[in-house]
Chains A and B, each alone.
Chain A
Amino acid sequence: MAPKAQKKPQGKQMAKSSAPHKPKNSAINASRLMKYSRARIFQRKAAYKVKKVKTPAKKSAEKAAAAAAFVVKKIGGDKNGGERKVYKKTPKSLPTQVASRKVQLRPKKTFKKHVRRIRSNLAPGAVLILLAGRHKGKRVVLLKQLESGLLLVTGPRKLNGCPLRRVSQRYVIGTKTRIDISKVALPERLNDAYFRRQRSAKKSAASAGGSADIFAKSDAAYAVSAERREDQAAVDKALMGAIKASGDGPMLRSYLRSLFSIKSGQRPHAMVF
């Protein structure tokens, strides 16, 4: 009778129970704090019984040498140490001291990642009063907020000469007047890149090369592109339709044509817009 070989249950090779997994640790009151600390959990799970698995052998010496940033070269001379580490590719900086890294608990967010907010009273279709710029005093219609956070507005150009334009929230009064623009289809290409100011190519080349005549007047007068005309006409048509369809059609048209100003006795802080 051969003795039965008894298998000592190893930590990781224990029989799997059919019961559902019950986590040993849990969060307190929907916070980030856990009931048991790391040390306590180590004990509760009896993790000290778990045998550490040995990681596979490191890469061979040759592979390591190939992956290294420098090459070890033998040099002559008695008291020179016999070898030097030569960089394969000169790094950008060779610091003499180890740069101490400040731990960024909340790293700086780039501009692209900034949260874009919009005032609650500025909804698409709202009539805005422009307070600064070329079109100050004009009442325009808000179409949407662009990715950069700027507002896309238009006069409509037919009514007050304000084209499809970007405008900052800060230079605008949002009125309570709303136009239903749900049926106004805006062209897809209206985004920040579309409205970005075009710097003339010659000038940018000159600044880079430094060889062109800096006094040469290279920017031509601004000319409206064909696609701008097209988009303006399309949006204007749809918007005029929406204005006509709204309750106060004729009044709204003359309202958008008129300019805003503060009259004597009016106090902006006490006025409802």
Chain B
Amino acid sequence: MGKLDKFVQVGRVAFIANGADSGKVCAIAEIVDQNRVLIDGPCTGVRRQVCDMKRLHLTGFHLPLPHSSRTAVVRRKWLAAKLDERWTGTSWAKKLEARRLRASMTDFDRFKCARAKQIRNRIVSVAMGSLRKTSSPKLRKPNKKRHLRKA
């Protein structure tokens, strides 16, 4: 088990995993009870609302928010902390973006992607082949026909 360093606390930045606002990040403004929190994401288009913890995935970011801060305060702190840039810079956000792009590829895009991969792979295999030729015999690919010729 990893470090237990992401706490459900006021100011914790959370990622909404399902529902209408899925895919967006927000800040926890207040804790309602064991299972629910009040979230607010003025800079990401998340309305101030009570949200079940089950829908949220906690991120590593934390804002210095006083509890029950109103939306304007959350916005101010969010912009001061430059959270939008910091979030999009994380590998989490980058992976989400990559997934989104892959899902939105049209048939032509998929063709172009496959074609580009093929060209790259050919370059790599040609370079690999020439490297193998110039390297020691041990590293060469075992040639079945060579065995037969010797015999």
Contact = CB atoms under 8 A, between A and B. Distances in A.
Interface stretch (B1-9, B12-20, B106-114): B106-114
A270 interface: yes
A66 to B, nearest CB: 73
A129 B110 CA distance: 14
B103 interface: yes
A248 B112 CA distance: 10
Interface of A: 127, 129, 139, 173, 175-177, 248, 251-252, 254-255, 258, 260, 270-273
B108 A127 contact: yes
Taking residues whose C-beta sits less than 8 angstroms from the other chain, chain B's interface range is under 10
Nearest to B116: A251
B103 A273 contact: no
A267 to B, nearest CB: 11
A260 B106 CA distance: 13
State the majority secondary structure of interface residues on A.
mixed
A139 B106 CA distance: 13
Contacts, number: 36
Contact of A272 (B104, B111, B115): B104
A63 to B, nearest CB: 74
B81 interface: no
Interface of B: 103-108, 111-112, 115
A74 to B, nearest CB: 85
A259 B104 CA distance: 21
Contacts of A258: 111
A251 B110 CA distance: 12
A262 B109 CA distance: 15
A175 B115 contact: no
B107 A251 contact: no
Contacts of A273: 106-107
A177 B108 contact: yes
Nearest to B105: A272
Given A251-B112, A251-B115, A175 B103 contact: no
Nearest to A251: B112
A175 B108 contact: yes
B21 to A, nearest CB: 22
A273 B67 CA distance: 47
A255 B103 contact: no
Contact of B103 (A251, A260, A272): A272
A255 B104 contact: no
A255 B105 contact: no
A273 B107 CA distance: 5
A175 to B, nearest CB: 5
A255 B108 contact: yes
